[in-house]
A and B are shown apart, each in its own frame.
Chain A
Amino acid sequence: MIEIIDTSKSYEKGKKAVDRLNLKIGNSMIFGFLGPNGAGKTTTIKMITGIISADEGDIIVDGYSIKKEPLNAKMNFGYVPDNSDIVWRLKGLEYLNFIADIYRVSKEKRKERIEKYSELFDLKDNLNQYITTYSRGMKQKLMLIASLLNDPQNWILDEPIVGLDPIIAHALKTEMQQRAKDGGCVFFSTHILEIAEQLCDKIAIINKGCLLFEGTIEEVKEAKNQENSLEQLFLELVDG
């Protein structure tokens, strides 16, 4: 479970990237975080994961505050960044072992999970290669495997579908659904509204750092009293 409480962040004076955001993402659900470019989606995710600190408010992951107990909070999620920039000259497997060491994953479990997910995301033949030689999609797959090594209760993904081929995208969606079904919390940001419509139990739409809407797809349609597609509703909300 992830709770975002009154969280704000600004990079420039007088311009808030995220403005008093409140969200509660419960277990057993896929939560889609939607918004146009520069809406504050990545900033929010970076605050949840502790990459940047919030100016105001707090974020709680499974009862642990990311500000006060960052290590406990981080132990409870797996994170897939939007930009898989790994500058270290490591091989794929070396990177996965590094992540597994950080999460203190036992030898047996890491072996089992690396084999399982590298098979699922079709990367097992490339794990002996340097990450610097990977394509964008391969890096994305590596980050997906790494994020699942600790079998997280909360799975946070920033634009996860971008760069993946249809087969892997399908595998990812199935994995997301399976995790939610098993009681996990899946929180992801996306631009692709069809995916949100198809996958999400709940969505939140954000623009210019402010939350415009939070609820199920049905609720958003009810709120607008329309039978339109999510795309049209999204455009209406964002354009104001």
Chain B
Amino acid sequence: MDKTIFKLIGFNLKQLLHVQFEGLFSNKNNKTKNSKKVISRILMICLLIYAFLVIGGSWGVLCNSIFKYLSLNDKADIQIDGQSVRFDEYIVLIISFFFIMIFLISFLFTFLSISSYLSLSGTEEYFLTLPIKSTTFFASKVIYLTLVNTIYSMLLSIITLSVYGFHFKVSFDYYIIYLIISVCLNLFAVMISIPISLLLIRLFKFLKNKDTMAYLSIFIILPLVIGYNIFQQNIMQNISDPSMLNNFAVSIASITYSLSKSILSPIIFFIVFLARLASGSFGLFRYLYLIFSILLVTFIFYIIVVLFSRMYVSILTMTNRSRKTSFNLKRNSNYKQKPIYLTIFKKENLSIFREPSFFLNGPFVILLLPLIIGLSIFVQLNTSKGLDNVLSSLKQMPEIYYIYISVLASFILSSFASISSTSISREGKSFSIIKSLPINPLQYFKGKISHALFFSFICILVINIPLYFIFPKIELLLFSALVSLLFSFIFHLISISIDLLNPKLSWENPVQAVKQNMNAVYSILIGLLFSVLFFFQMKIFLADIPTKIFAKFTKMPYDSNNIFYTLMRRTLFLANGTIRTDYIFCAGLFILLVIASLELVVIILALKNYFKSRFYKIES
């Protein structure tokens, strides 16, 4: 291994940062352009800070409640699985538990980016022609992947250890040790994840198609993702109840204790070792142990690089074998004329389904997230025998909640799928082709939005079909679908306008356009903000205002023959329930529908000129 490793890492990082923050640091000479740029830069920096606060905030709260509780504890021995454990050992087990969680995040993030590190870009093709050893090439890739995939988990480990350090009043040098521990832990996770993914890919080599191999490997790892989610939900459920904190702390220590005796013991052993170092168990010898852990990670890194570099390069250079299909150019069905927005819709659809990175970060999320969440809830409730109770209480829920759930879930899901927020970036260098064609920008965006709405519609189906079994009312299904679509429309308009402001067009690897695109993050954050906004909006229009208005008119007798009531009932197909609830609900739904439509119209009018002018200004 030589200096080339660092040059390759530097090159990759430079390329990543350049395309990632191009808009933030680019220096334009035009003064009028500059003032607009400054505003957009400030907005983006604010969003970036907000992103880190959202990501780190909930984890920080979790760590704070546990470590604060433990720091105030009487430090007596604890009974875990029938064995007496010293308090300092108990702390080590708790920290180890957090480390295991962080390890799993890094492991999964790296694993799920499988399609990105197995796709061969033009630059990599060139690197492979240079006299660079496969070990050097692979080593640089492992370090690069660690840096890219562990930003989130690195942040979590630093938060965990800082909160621990704060409550247990450790000396200042420990904070430097914590930084090194965080790097060791996450690098260790990546080093376990990459060989497993390579071995799985190798297992499916007979398929002779890298894309299919990547899909299959990800499906194999799905149970782990679902398991992790169940685990995390359990934690959040326990942490919300302060009286459960003690039991929770003991149970997580018990989990770590059991894991250390399982088949995973070699991995857990190292994690517990790092936790012991962080907890201060090694006292004055801490630097010695720190050096030992650095050396150990370096040694594992070296072994993995030596063992897997050839396998990596051989998979990387593998070409997909396509199926031979019969094709006749003269067949008339090959030539169908479509309207412009529909042809853009078709192009988008074909691209997103055929490109693994686009599919895994888009449509796959729409199907995967409800599956993971649904299965997690099902398993959790089934094990606690609470499924029947929950289902019966859900059935008794007011109808308004049904709409809340449907709208918010489809909305959040749409934002997580990043289909609209990366729609311009996904065009990459081909955007110049689009610009040379006689496409009306509004037609172009119509195609893009139709495509995003198509996936929102799938979201709505995915959410509403299970809900229909709880609330078997077709009128509710239709109405909530309509409201969800209207709100999704607004969201997609805003998401596309964010991507349009600073699209990431110069990418070599498709994953850079979606997963490593800050516009997707901004869009998720805005989506979350909008969810809160829409929740209150729905509450106001479906419950608060109609109730108040209705209260004023309670003296007015309900007349089933009244044309207004009849029309509203027939329009919204809401004929069940009591007269009063129906009336309030109908009025609320009607107002909400009108308000959502008005909001949509206002946003379309506000963004119309922006879409048009920005389209022509983008220079790839």
Whether A86 touches B343, Cβ cut-off 8 Å, given contacts A12-B29, A130-B322, is no
A51 to B433: give the CA distance in the assembly, Å: 8
Whether A94 touches B350, Cβ cut-off 8 Å, given contacts A87-B427, A89-B355, A107-B336, is yes
When distances are taken between beta carbons in the complex, the residues of chain A under 8 Å from B325 are 128
Whether A88 touches B436, Cβ cut-off 8 Å, given contacts A101-B340, A110-B335, A128-B325, is no
When distances are taken between beta carbons in the complex, the residues of chain A under 8 Å from B334 are 93, 97, 111
A36 near B: Cβ within 8 Å? no
Within 8 A of A (CB), among B510-525: 510
B430 near A: Cβ within 8 Å? yes
Q: Which of B41-49, B143-151, B437-445, B459-467 has 4 or more CB atoms under 8 Å from chain A?
A: B437-445
Within 8 A of B (CB), among A115-146: 115, 118, 124, 127-130, 133
A57 near B: Cβ within 8 Å? no
Smallest CB gap from A94: residue in B: B350
Tell me whether B351 and A71 are in contact (CB under 8 A): no
0 or 1 for each of A51-68: is its CB under 8 Å from B? (1 = yes): 111000000000000000
Tell me whether B436 and A49 are in contact (CB under 8 A): yes
B617 near A: Cβ within 8 Å? yes
When distances are taken between beta carbons in the complex, the residues of chain B under 8 Å from A46 are 432
A215 near B: Cβ within 8 Å? no
When distances are taken between beta carbons in the complex, the residues of chain B under 8 Å from A107 are 332, 335-337
A50 near B: Cβ within 8 Å? yes
A114 to B350: give the CA distance in the assembly, Å: 21
When distances are taken between beta carbons in the complex, the residues of chain A under 8 Å from B346 are 98
Tell me whether B350 and A99 are in contact (CB under 8 A): no
A85 to B433: give the CA distance in the assembly, Å: 9
B276 CB → nearest A CB, Å: 49
Chain A interface residue count, Cβ-Cβ cutoff 8 angstroms: 46
When distances are taken between beta carbons in the complex, the residues of chain B under 8 Å from A102 are 340, 343, 437-439
Q: Within the complex, which residue of A49, A50, A93, A114 is in contact with B616, where a contact is CB–CB below 8 Å? A: A50
Tell me whether B343 and A97 are in contact (CB under 8 A): yes
Tell me whether B347 and A98 are in contact (CB under 8 A): yes
A108 CB → nearest B CB, Å: 8
B354 near A: Cβ within 8 Å? yes
Chain B interface residue count, Cβ-Cβ cutoff 8 angstroms: 39
Tell me whether A129 and B436 are in contact (CB under 8 A): no
Tell me whether A50 and B330 are in contact (CB under 8 A): no
B395 near A: Cβ within 8 Å? no
Tell me whether A74 and B336 are in contact (CB under 8 A): no
B350 CB → nearest A CB, Å: 6
Tell me whether B329 and A118 are in contact (CB under 8 A): yes
Tell me whether B350 and A90 are in contact (CB under 8 A): yes
When distances are taken between beta carbons in the complex, the residues of chain A under 8 Å from B329 are 93, 114-115, 118, 124, 127
A71 to B620: give the CA distance in the assembly, Å: 20
A103 CB → nearest B CB, Å: 7
Tell me whether A97 and B438 are in contact (CB under 8 A): no
B437 CB → nearest A CB, Å: 5
B338 near A: Cβ within 8 Å? yes
B241 near A: Cβ within 8 Å? no
B428 near A: Cβ within 8 Å? yes
When distances are taken between beta carbons in the complex, the residues of chain B under 8 Å from A106 are 337
- Give 9 A-B pairs besides A74-B437, A88-B350, A102-B437 with Cβ atoms closer than 8 angstroms: A51-B432, A70-B616, A74-B438, A88-B430, A98-B343, A101-B337, A103-B437, A107-B336, A111-B334
Contact sample, A vs B, 13 pairs, CB 8 Å cutoff: A51-B432, A51-B435, A71-B439, A72-B438, A81-B432, A90-B350, A97-B336, A98-B346, A98-B347, A101-B339, A105-B337, A110-B335, A130-B322
B residues with CB within 8 A of A = 29, 322, 325, 327, 329-330, 332, 334-340, 342-343, 346-347, 350-351, 354-355, 427-430, 432-433, 435-440, 510, 616-617, 619-620
* Ranked 8 nearest A-B pairs via Cβ: A101-B343, A74-B438, A89-B354, A128-B327, A13-B29, A85-B429, A87-B428, A49-B436
